[in-house]
Amino acid sequence: MPSFSDILNRPTVFADRNVLSPHYVPSILPFRDKEIGKIMAAVSPALKGERPRNIFVYGKTGTGKTASVKHVAAKFESHTATARADAAGTAKSAAASSRAKTCYVNCRMYNSRYRVIQKIVKELLPSLDSMGFGLAMLYEKMMESVLTSGAHLIVVLDEVDMVKDLDDLLYTLTRANDELKQGGVSLIGISNKLTFKDQLDPRSRSSLCENEMVFAPYTANQLAAIIDQRVKTGFKPHTVEESAVNLAAALTASETGDARYALKLLMKSGEIADDRGIKKITDKEIEEARHTADTEVAFEAISTLPDHQQMVLLAVAHLAIDKGKNTRLTTGTADEDDSFLTSGEVYEEYCKQAKHHRKPRRSARWYREYLNDLEMLGLITTIESGAGMRGRTRLIRIGFPPADVKKIIEKNFSIIEGKD
């Protein structure tokens, strides 16, 4: 039986696996200098005792949004720490800098107004046991802390679209400034959904989207440079072939341009090499890692979808599996993988799924938004129908094996609904 010492002393291609984590923020973020500069300029008024405008940052998954904001937050906190430590810093600007603070909130974890404000209070008052406090009391504690310290608090709401009562949260946080005689609260909202702001109440939209930033997907050349940066610190020298780096970049760019996907390919290929005692990662290991990474990406993406988006995807999976009972359309080739479903039949099946899971079905307008979100995540592909059909319709194809998708979603719903 092996010991931990035996396992730890096994040969490995890795130098530092942490560098390949999607949560790792490098000291230098390639190709994001412009965006980082804009974020820094937007939050800098807080360091002078002034309230910054709110910012809304959006773009596809893996384009460096969160990493860039966290990078700026780290610089911001470093600046305020220096101001606090400067015994001679009695100038107004130094005093204001020392009171500024950032608070990062992952809205997948803190997905309601109550939880977000509770998280903020924990950051402001670490010694306070906030368990059992009602929303009103938490709000008063937050306001008291900001007012007493005169701090300018910048709250980062990552994946802000996951908050269930988002309009209420935005109203609460933005209106807090009306009650503060000194200090203030500003927001940075981050979302993967390009159409997210369209779903907000007009008042919330105007308050959150004072400044907007769009992060474009990385190109293949940029991804290759990002991968090469991580390879140099994450792997031992000469263990990753240059062609493997280029292949990982090309595969990622052709799919979504998601840098996190590229890092997952690297991690999986390194694990394959270690398991087989291989000293170099080649194109072969990258190709093998691709299949595992695709499955994991699909599982992560599906498991975190809101209920109605899961039901739309479940409808697509059901229809894709049940070929004999549904009219299938093709793009004109004999390849079965080119088969599509019509938007209308998917919507009809979605309505059945909503009824089965005792959820009120959403309108066709919301359904179209769900399709956009699913396509953005790479879970489906859509095209507009061409000549030969009555009118124009959207044709839909599932992006992963439908049986696997169906299994993941039904498992999620069985947990939510308390089934075995």
Q: What is the largest CA-CA distance in the chain?
A: 79
In 3D space, the residue among 296, 269, 268 whose CA is nearest the CA of residue 280 turns out to be: 269
Name the pTM for this structure.
0.77
Q: pLDDT tens digits, residue range 151-179? A: 899 999 999 988 989 899 998 998 888 88
Confidence of residue 226 (pLDDT cuts 50, 70, 90): very high
From the number of C-beta atoms within 10 Å of its C-beta (0-12, 13-18, 19+), residue 420 rates as exposed
| Whether the predicted pLDDT of 34 surpasses 90 | yes
CB 234, CB 16: distance < 8 Å: yes
| Whether the predicted pLDDT of 328 surpasses 50 | no
Q: What is the mean pLDDT of the chain?
A: 85
Confidence of residue 327 (pLDDT cuts 50, 70, 90): very low
Confidence of residue 286 (pLDDT cuts 50, 70, 90): very high
pLDDT at 340: 85
Confidence of residue 310 (pLDDT cuts 50, 70, 90): very high
| Ramachandran sector of residue 57 (left: φ over 0; alpha: ψ -120 to 50; beta: rest) | beta
In 3D space, the residue among 155, 156, 153 whose CA is nearest the CA of residue 66 turns out to be: 156
Alpha carbons within 13 angstroms on the beta-carbon side of residue 224 total 12
In 3D space, the residue among 199, 191, 206, 202 whose CA is nearest the CA of residue 157 turns out to be: 191
User: Once rounded to an integer, what is the mean pLDDT over residues 129-154?
Assistant: 89
CB atoms within 10 A of CB 384: 9
Q: pLDDT tens digits, residue range 116-127? A: 999 999 999 998
User: Once rounded to an integer, what is the mean pLDDT over residues 59-73?
Assistant: 92
The DSSP H or E segment spanning 160 is: none
Confidence of residue 209 (pLDDT cuts 50, 70, 90): low
Confidence of residue 337 (pLDDT cuts 50, 70, 90): very low
CB 162, CB 129: distance < 8 Å: no
Q: pLDDT tens digits, residue range 383-401? A: 887 655 555 788 999 988 8
CATH for the 305-416 domain, from 3.40.30.10, 3.30.70.960, 1.20.20.10, 1.10.10.10: 1.10.10.10
pLDDT at 86: 67
CATH code for the structural domain at 218-302: 1.10.8.60
- Whole-angstrom distance, CA of residue 271 vs CA of residue 110: 33
Per CATH, which fold does 33-215 belong to?
A: Rossmann fold (3.40.50)
User: Once rounded to an integer, what is the mean pLDDT over residues 25-53?
Assistant: 92
Q: Domain segments of the chain: what residues?
A: 33-215, 218-302, 305-416
CB atoms within 10 A of CB 365: 7
| Whether the predicted pLDDT of 331 surpasses 50 | no
Higher pLDDT, 106 or 196: 106
pLDDT at 91: 54
188-to-78, 154, 160 alpha-carbon distances in Å? 19, 7, 9
